[in-house]
Amino acid sequence: MKAKTAIDFSYFSSQRILKMELKGHYPFLLTFDHGGICIECPWRLVRHGSLVLGQTDLLSAGEQYKEQLEELLVGTKIVKVAWLEGTSMLRIHLENDCILDLFHNSVLFEGWDLFGDNGFSFISLPGGEYDFSH
């Protein structure tokens, strides 16, 4: 997998995840220092090469895993964000060695909206295409 270089995600580096909201299945919202992400697609959290938690875990066992997810994400600094071309996957690398992978799997619905207070917007569109503006 090769990272797409045409989009500069450095605006998000060093921002902290301030808040997590998860109500029902979707959306999964993360608020950053100067932006955030609205997630409406499958995701997983990986640490040191091993799966820690995934969307299916929350859907099946809810509250038990929600607290664990919040502990791993809230207050954590973003190291980098990468878009993996050809896989419709967005990766958010965190300072605690976790990687939040988002992968689009719908031809009908958007997958996520990564947005910044500076006007940055990276949206995964139906079918896996994307829309970027800055």
Assess if residue 30 is contained within a domain.
Answer: yes
H/E segment holding residue 112: strand 112-116
Asked whether residue 5 is domain-assigned, the answer is no
| Residue-range definition of the domain harbouring residue 72 | 10-133
Is residue 39 within 8 Å of residue 30, measured between CB atoms?
A: yes
The two structure tokens encoding residue 59: 């859907």
Number of domains present in the structure of the chain: 1
Tens-level pLDDT at each residue, the chain (134 residues): 444 447 999 999 999 999 999 876 678 999 999 999 999 999 999 999 999 998 888 877 767 788 889 999 999 999 999 998 778 899 999 999 999 999 988 899 999 999 999 999 999 999 888 999 88
| pTM tops 0.75, yes or no | yes
From CA 126, how far away is CA 3, in angstroms rounded? 21
Residue 81 falls inside a structural domain: yes
Q: Looking up tokens 């970027």, which residue turns up?
A: 132
Q: Is residue 3 part of a domain?
A: no
Q: Cα separation of 118 and 109, whole Å? A: 25
Contacts of 1 (CB under 8 A, 6+ apart): 84, 85, 86, 87, 89
The answer to the question of residue 2 being in a domain is no
